[in-house]
Amino acid sequence: MENPEKPIREIKMLIGLPGAGKSTYLKEHPEILKGYTFISVDGIAQERSKGSDLTAAQIHDQQYDSIINEFNSRLKKAVEQGDNILIEGVNATLEKRTKRLTGARNSDQFNYKTTAIIILPPSEEIRQERIKRRIYEEGRFSSPISEIEMPQHGEFDNLIYIGGKNLSKNVRENPQGNHTGYIKSGRHLDNIHR
């Protein structure tokens, strides 16, 4: 039960298939990060690759459990400090998202409001091209996940859909959070959830 005396904080969680445009969206809209602690599994792997002979993809594969532990530690610390938090990643399943949000929802000190930002790729062809570039040119990890369980009713306080043909401008908000289903790779996404 929400305690009105506790200060309100926010967690935004990016959700999207690999190559959907999550990183691109953040680069094009850096203002979304202002006032938020940014936590990303891929970001931790990239941090560890600096000054190393290994690529972020290799580090991700070799140190996955350690990276997840660090991700969880950073998330726990941010919640304890009462930070506003932005979580970047595929966040493909209800189970994974629930685990990541549990600490904030159980906070004794803060009321955390949750927002899902669902990134839909402009097209499957563009998504696949981004994955190839990420792996072969940038040496970055790309998850093999090819479908996402869409947020369930009540899972988040607010849902924002970004994407389709114009990734940077097409934004749809749904405060009821009542869309369900899956986004699958290979499926035409331009008219989903309009």
130-177: per-residue pLDDT in tens? 767 766 665 555 555 567 788 877 899 998 888 765 444 444 444 444
Whole-model pTM: value is 0.76
Residue 187 has pLDDT above 80, yes or no: no
Q: How confident is the model at residue 102 (pLDDT cuts 50, 70, 90)?
A: very high
Confidence of residue 189 (pLDDT cuts 50, 70, 90): very low
- Stretch 6-30: mean pLDDT: 88
pLDDT value, residue 104: 92
**Chain-centre distance for alpha carbon 122:** 17
- CB neighbours of 176 closer than 8 A, spacing ≥ 6? 153
Average pLDDT over residues 75-93: 92
Separation of alpha carbons 126 and 40, rounded Å: 23
